[in-house]
Amino acid sequence: MRIDILTILPDLLHSPFSDSIMKRAQTKGHLELEIHNIRDYSTNKHSKVDDYQYGGGAGMVMNIEPIAAIIDKLQSERDYDEIIFMTPDGELLEQAICNDLSLKGNIMVLCGHYKGVDERIREYYITKEISIGSYVLSGGELGAAVLVDSVVRLIPGVLNDETSALTDSFQDGLLSPPVYTRPSEYNGMKVPEVLLSGDFGKIDKWREDKAIERTKARRPDLLD
């Protein structure tokens, strides 16, 4: 998979992808990640990429020219399955979206700033708009990092245990059940006996029951 991220703050995005699973995904060749500085495509002598909004009002708006220029350039080099804009008023990111995007080949992600981007970018270039929650961040970079991490980890070969992602929360519409590891007892706190029984039928049933129980208690909306 290739992912191109368009941003005015490229340094903000280097750290999330230079360690752990995201780094291994790139080293193994499962992920080709390119971070592009939108300012490099500005024709303003000061590399300015924003201006006052028509009609007045508080907040600056990102110009259409540099964003359109970089998208046009990238599209001339390859076809993109999705051009995604990270925005608070986008579709709420959920596991089903991550699963679908993990099957794509080329994805472009645009990070907004200020009051947003010129609406014409959204109308003529963007194919999908995504929000990571009902709140506002200073820019789209952190949201883009969340999106990329949640998608790339699903690509076969990225995780050491490929079945791990299949048992994560939300994959089956439920939260994950409790998990335990050694020691089996600590300061009087014991691991449930069923997990030590070796009876995998009973263990699977216990995990299913606990997943439903936890989902009912913490995210009943998932069961509606």
DSSP SS3 for 212: helix
Q: What is the CATH number of the domain that holds 44?
A: 3.40.1280.10
- Residue range(s) defining the domain that contains residue 121: 2-152
Residue 62 sits in the same domain as residue 99: yes
List CB contacts of 173: < 8 A, sequence separation 6 or more.
222, 223
Assess if residue 190 is contained within a domain: yes
Assess if residue 175 is contained within a domain: yes
Please give the pLDDT value at position 37.
98
Residue 179 sits in the same domain as residue 148: no
The alpha carbon of 143 is separated from its chain's Cα centroid by a whole number of angstroms, namely: 6
Assess if residue 160 is contained within a domain: no
Give the pLDDT of the chain (224 residues) as one tens digit per residue: 999 999 999 999 999 999 999 999 999 999 999 999 999 999 998 999 999 999 999 999 999 999 999 999 999 999 999 999 999 999 999 999 999 999 999 999 999 999 999 999 999 999 999 999 999 999 999 999 999 999 999 999 999 765 566 666 567 789 989 999 999 999 999 999 999 999 999 999 999 999 999 999 999 999 98
The whole-angstrom separation of Cα 53 and Cα 39 is: 19
Assess if residue 157 is contained within a domain: no
Shortest CA distance to 166 belongs to which of 81, 84, 102? 102
Residue 142 sits in the same domain as residue 192: no
Residue 7 sits in the same domain as residue 102: yes
Residue 176 sits in the same domain as residue 139: no
Q: Give the predicted TM-score (pTM) of the model.
A: 0.89
Residue 104 sits in the same domain as residue 182: no
Residue 37 sits in the same domain as residue 136: yes
The whole-angstrom separation of Cα 2 and Cα 20 is: 18
Assess if residue 62 is contained within a domain: yes
The whole-angstrom separation of Cα 52 and Cα 55 is: 9
List CB contacts of 199: < 8 A, sequence separation 6 or more.
none
Residue 62 sits in the same domain as residue 21: yes
Please give the pLDDT value at position 160.
79
Assess if residue 213 is contained within a domain: yes
Two structure tokens written together for 102: 């993990």
Q: Max CA-CA distance within the chain?
A: 70
Domain count, the chain: 2
Residue 89 sits in the same domain as residue 178: no
Please give the pLDDT value at position 196.
96
Q: What is the CATH number of the domain that holds 211?
A: 1.10.1270.20
Assess if residue 164 is contained within a domain: no
Two structure tokens written together for 39: 């300012």
Please give the pLDDT value at position 168.
64
Shortest CA distance to 4 belongs to which of 88, 93, 77, 91? 77
Q: Counting beta carbons within 10 angstroms of the beta carbon of residue 163, is it exposed (0 to 12), middle (13 to 18) or buried (19 or more)?
A: exposed
Please give the pLDDT value at position 41.
97
The whole-angstrom separation of Cα 50 and Cα 118 is: 9
Shortest CA distance to 107 belongs to which of 119, 98, 116, 94? 98
Residue 174 sits in the same domain as residue 142: no
Q: Residues 56, 58, 63, CA angle at the centre, nearest 5°?
A: 75
Please give the pLDDT value at position 164.
63
Assess if residue 161 is contained within a domain: no
Residue 23 sits in the same domain as residue 121: yes
What percent of the chain has a predicted confidence (pLDDT) above 70?
Answer: 96
Residue 17 sits in the same domain as residue 83: yes
Residue-wise pLDDT tens digits, 22-68: 999 999 999 999 999 999 999 998 999 999 999 999 999 999 999 99
- Count of CB atoms situated within 10 Å of the CB of 66: 23
